[in-house]
């Protein structure tokens, strides 16, 4: 089998083909600062080949519910953005897993609260945990808190 050697710099078309991300989405990522290109002598955008891995990371993070702003913060925290290492991936994966666990716990709690509300419809500030979780409004004092805040 012949081994295909990837050039150091690739076009946006090749990057799109290799990652499955549309050219317009790649340009959007670039406008957001997630990836960077440089112009060649023909004034075409060229991406260093390591960007394939960064785009893959962005896809994984987006699929797990992270915003592009969160992803940018994480990428900016990498020791070297030109080479995402296995250690970088493990550290990012571990942080994202913790965040996912937190979201799952929060959503499960919300789902359980909603179960109490299905078929009720009272939307009572005293009774409904969805409308007033943990009676947060009650801790702020008595009276019509929603009307005055
Ligand atoms: S709607 Fe009645 S408890 Fe939430």
The whole-number pLDDT of residue 135 equals 67
CB neighbour list of residue 19: distance below 8 Å, 6 or more residues apart: 26, 52, 55, 56, 59
Q: Residues lining ligand 1, judged by CB closer than 6 Å? A: 116-117, 120-124, 127-128, 130
**14 CA to middle of ligand 1, Å?**
53
Domain limits of the chain?
9-117, 119-149
92: nearest Cα among 67, 65, 79, 74: 74
82: nearest Cα among 41, 56, 53: 53
**128 CA to middle of ligand 1, Å?**
4
Q: Side-chain half-sphere of 49: how many Cα atoms within 13 Å?
A: 5
Q: Is the pLDDT of residue 113 over 70?
A: yes
What would the mean pLDDT of 116-142 be, rounded to a whole number?
Answer: 77
% of the chain with per-residue pLDDT over 90: 44
Quick one: how many helices (H) and strands (E) in the chain? 7, 3
Helix (H) or strand (E) holding 9: strand 9-11
Q: Is the pLDDT of residue 144 over 70?
A: no
What would the mean pLDDT of 118-133 be, rounded to a whole number?
Answer: 81
User: With b meaning 16 or more CB within 10 Å and e meaning fewer, what string describes 74-95?
Assistant: bbeebeebeebeeebeeebeee
Ligand 1, residues 131, 132, 134: which to mutate, most atoms within 8 A of Cβ?
131
Q: Return the minimum-mean-pLDDT range out of 21-30, 57-66, 90-99, 133-142.
A: 133-142
57-107 pLDDT tens trace: 999 999 988 999 999 999 998 887 777 888 988 988 899 999 999 999 999
The whole-number pLDDT of residue 119 equals 82
**Strand pairing partners for 10?**
47
CATH number of 9-117: 1.10.1660.10
């Amino acid at each position: 089998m012949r081994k295909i050697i990837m050039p150091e710099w690739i076009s946006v078309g090749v990057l799109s083909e290799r990652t499955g991300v549309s050219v317009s989405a790649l340009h959007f990522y670039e406008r957001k600062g997630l990836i960077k290109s440089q112009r060649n002598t023909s004034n075409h955008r060229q991406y260093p080949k390591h960007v394939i891995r960064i785009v893959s990371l962005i896809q994984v993070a987006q699929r797990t519910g992270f915003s592009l702003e969160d992803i940018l913060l994480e990428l900016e925290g990498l020791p070297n953005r030109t080479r995402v290492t296995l250690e970088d991936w493990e550290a990012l994966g571990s942080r994202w897993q913790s965040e996912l666990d937190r979201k799952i716990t929060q959503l499960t709690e919300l789902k359980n609260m909603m179960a109490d509300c299905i078929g009720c419809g009272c939307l009572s500030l005293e009774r409904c945990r969805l409308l007033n979780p943990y009676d947060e409004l009650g801790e702020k004092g008595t009276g019509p808190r929603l009307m005055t805040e």
